[in-house]
Amino acid sequence: MKVLVPVKRVVDYNVKVRVKSDQTGVDIANVKMSMNPFDEIAVEEAVRLKEKGFATEIIAISCGVAQCQETLRTAMAIGADRGILVETAEELQPLAVAKLLKALADKEQPGLIILGKQAIDDDCNQTGQMLAALTDWPQATFASKVEVVDGRVQVTREVDGGLETLSLQMPAVITTDLRLNEPRYVTLPNIMKAKKKQLDVFKPEDLGVDVAPRIKTLKVCEPPKRSAGIKVADVAALVDKLKNEAKVI
Ligand code: AMP
């Protein structure tokens, strides 16, 4: 069974993002970029499925600019067997990415596609769900445990009231939550090995997908600055302020 793992190149989670002065977006010039953390978890899970003998080949996919090749090399250093870059300089929205992934799923015929539950740059939490709709495959989002049992995939999900376990027929789409696993450290020998792995490059046109944005961003701005807090003398003063100033109790 092949496993596809889409990996997005995003601003590193340690970077404090700055809004561009013309309010058209976030400044990513000279900013450290990394693999979306949820996608690292997805690659790790695919590698564990391969180590357990359920997966035969792991294919990492990234859609975006040429530098996404670095993200693919990281995925291959964790353990993906090969990479596919869908190269475009266009702004890619979740629907466009889902259509590209659907085209690649038709080509590769995987048993599973494991995505991150959300990309930490746009926080959309849409691509996996849209991909499941386009492929008409079962989906299990926010996975905290994945097991292959009797030819089906059993996924434990984190839901509001606790945990829910679903049994899905494959092929299926899974999105990862934070507690699914802890990705392994990438070792130098594996980084070197990853440099030699196969990496194919397509353009969206090669896959017959129109990636033109469907949503227009009007303005991006900083959240309002918070004013400094104060210390209150005792609980009575706190209750008084909550009641009479904040009027929340
Ligand atoms: P989002 O719906 O944008 O929050 O993204 C959810 C997941 O979709 C990510 O964690 C990735 O697994 C995948 N994804 C989104 N955008 C891309 C992209 N440009 N390239 C590869 N995978 C992506």
CA 226 to ligand 1 center in whole angstroms: 31
- Is residue 93 domain-resident? yes
H helix count then E strand count, the chain: 6, 11
What separation in Å is there between the alpha carbon of 86 and the centre of ligand 1?
13
Distance (angstroms) between ligand 1 centre and the Cα of 66 equals 16
Residue 102 near residue 131 (C-beta atoms within 8 A): yes
> How many domains does the chain fold into?
1
pTM score of the predicted model = 0.91
Q: Can you give the residue range of the structural domain that contains 26?
A: 2-244
Q: Is residue 20 part of a domain?
A: yes
Could you tell me the CATH number of the domain that includes residue 92? 3.40.50.620
Question: Which residue of 7, 8, 13, 86 sits with most ligand 1 atoms within 8 Å of its CB, as the best mutation to test the pocket?
Answer: 8
Mean pLDDT value of segment 161-174: 96
SS3 at position 19: strand
Specify the DSSP class assigned to residue 227.
P
Q: Tell me whether residue 219 is in a domain.
A: yes
Which residue has the CA at smallest separation from atom 19 of ligand 1?
63
Ligand 1 pocket test, candidate residues 28, 84, 87, 127, most atoms within 8 A of CB = 127
Distance 154 CA to ligand 1 centre (A): 23
Q: Is residue 249 part of a domain?
A: no
241 band by pLDDT with thresholds 50, 70 and 90: very high
Task: Say what the pLDDT of residue 63 is.
Answer: 98
Tens digits of residue pLDDT in 209-218: 999 999 999 9
Q: What is the pLDDT of residues 135-145, one digit of tens each?
A: 999 999 999 99
Give the residue among 95, 60, 100 at the shortest CA–CA distance from 81.
Answer: 60
CB environment 175-194: b (16+ within 10 A), e (fewer) = bbbeebbebeebeeeeeeeb
The Å distance, Cα 7 to ligand 1 centre, comes to: 6
Q: Which residues line ligand 1 at a C-beta cut-off of 6 Å?
A: 6-8, 36, 38-39, 61-64, 92, 94, 97, 115-116, 118-119, 122, 124-128
- Is it the case that residue 158 has pLDDT exceeding 90? no
Do the domain assignments include residue 66?
A: yes
Query: Quick one: CA torsion of 180, 182, 183, 185, rounded to 10 degrees?
Result: 180
- Band (219; pLDDT cuts 50, 70, 90): very high
Q: Which atom of ligand 1 lies closest to the CA of 63?
A: 20
- Ligand 1 atom closest to Cα of residue 123: 4
